[in-house]
């Protein structure tokens, strides 16, 4: 039994601007915007929402199955998946395309400007999640991907009765209000950040409370203020975990989602799921890139105990 992780696989090209965007972008001049940022630091990391979420699930001992599309340049990424012991059965090669590429510039305040080439991601609908019917999967997430792929994955998972988390994220601009409501109606859970929650309300014409009532749990991350989980008519406040260092926010949301999914898989209550998610996000943010943190069991347990003064939940972590 596995967790299906539907979403993008991408190469992240990370550039660090050692100043603040606000010092160089003049609000009154944005209609003629023409700026250049000197980025002395450049690196290429493995990323994409599906890749990042699956990586973190593997750290936690879950058995994720990535459902994604890649291009002709995916050889290096495939070798990495092999090294991590991640199943590639549903990683589909689309000839004549590049694997999705993100070009991310981060400033001194951790603000980000991103340019994204979708490449093979636009063909994500070629993967049919219904192939996992017959009890192969117990849980899934539909994370940012090609528009048609996200819609088909949501419908396919509903058809084979696999409960899933809807994570519209960066795909919110390409999904209409009706499409968002359609996916939300098929999902069991939803997770967004605070900005995405506001955008989702604007696009659907519904308030947050109304959206939250459509699923078993609606999770809103609030950055350094923690997160809020709307479930069972309650609003559960989950504090943020203080990281060892604030290095790079890239992939923190994906690490958080992996913590949620692992907790759901283990049958935990929502507060416990949120706490583990916060721990995973904090462990990630102290490392550069979406997949360069490598906490072992002892480190995750120590971080959980330090943050919440309890081993009770940490001791439930399952590792392969």
Catalytic residue numbers read 254
User: Distance between CA 60 and CA 263 in Å, rounded?
Assistant: 10
- Kind plus residue range of the DSSP H or E element containing 191: strand 189-193
Place of tokens 């012991």: 85
Q: CB under 8 Å, gap of 24 or more: what pairs does 202-211 form? A: 203/172, 203/175, 203/176, 203/177, 204/177, 204/180, 205/177, 206/181, 211/184
E strands of the chain, at which residues? 2-6, 10-16, 41-47, 64-70, 91-93, 100-106, 112-117, 137-142, 164-166, 189-193, 217-221, 227-231, 234-238
Strand partners, 137: 2
Tokens representing residue 47 in the block: 């990323």
How would you label 39-64 residue by residue, b for 16+ Cβ within 10 Å and e otherwise? eeeeeebbbbbbbbbbbbbbbbebbb
């Amino acid at each position: 039994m596995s967790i299906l992780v539907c979403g993008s696989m991408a190469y992240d090209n990370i550039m660090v601007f050692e100043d603040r965007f606000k010092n160089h972008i003049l609000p009154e001049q944005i209609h003629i915007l023409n700026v250049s940022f000197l980025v002395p630091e450049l690196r290429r990391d493995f990323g994409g929402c599906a890749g990042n979420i699956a990586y973190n699930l593997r750290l936690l001992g879950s058995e994720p199955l990535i459902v994604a599309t890649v291009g002709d340049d995916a050889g290096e990424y495939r070798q990495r998946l092999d090294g991590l012991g991640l199943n590639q059965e549903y990683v589909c090669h689309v000839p004549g395309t590049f694997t999705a590429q993100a070009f991310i510039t981060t400033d001194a305040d951790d603000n980000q400007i991103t340019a994204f080439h979708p490449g093979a991601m636009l063909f994500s609908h070629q993967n049919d999640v219904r192939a996992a019917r017959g009890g192969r999967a117990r849980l899934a997430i539909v994370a940012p991907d090609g528009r048609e792929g996200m819609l088909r994955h949501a419908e396919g998972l509903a058809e084979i009765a696999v409960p899933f988390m809807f994570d519209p994220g960066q795909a919110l601009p390409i999904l209409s209000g009706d499409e968002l409501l359609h996916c939300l109606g098929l999902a069991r859970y939803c997770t967004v950040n605070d900005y995405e929650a506001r955008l989702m309300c604007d696009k659907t014409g519904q308030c947050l409370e109304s959206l939250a009532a459509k699923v078993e749990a609606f999770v809103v991350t609030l950055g350094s203020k923690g997160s809020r989980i709307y479930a069972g008519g309650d609003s559960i406040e989950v504090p943020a975990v203080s990281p060892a260092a604030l290095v790079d926010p890239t992939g923190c949301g994906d690490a958080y989602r992996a913590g949620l999914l692992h907790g759901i898989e283990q049958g935990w209550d929502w507060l416990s799921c949120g706490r583990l998610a916060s721990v995973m996000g904090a462990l990630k943010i102290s490392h550069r890139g979406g997949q360069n943190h490598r906490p072992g069991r002892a480190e995750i347990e120590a971080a959980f105990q330090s943050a919440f003064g309890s081993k009770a939940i940490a001791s439930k972590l399952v590792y392969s």
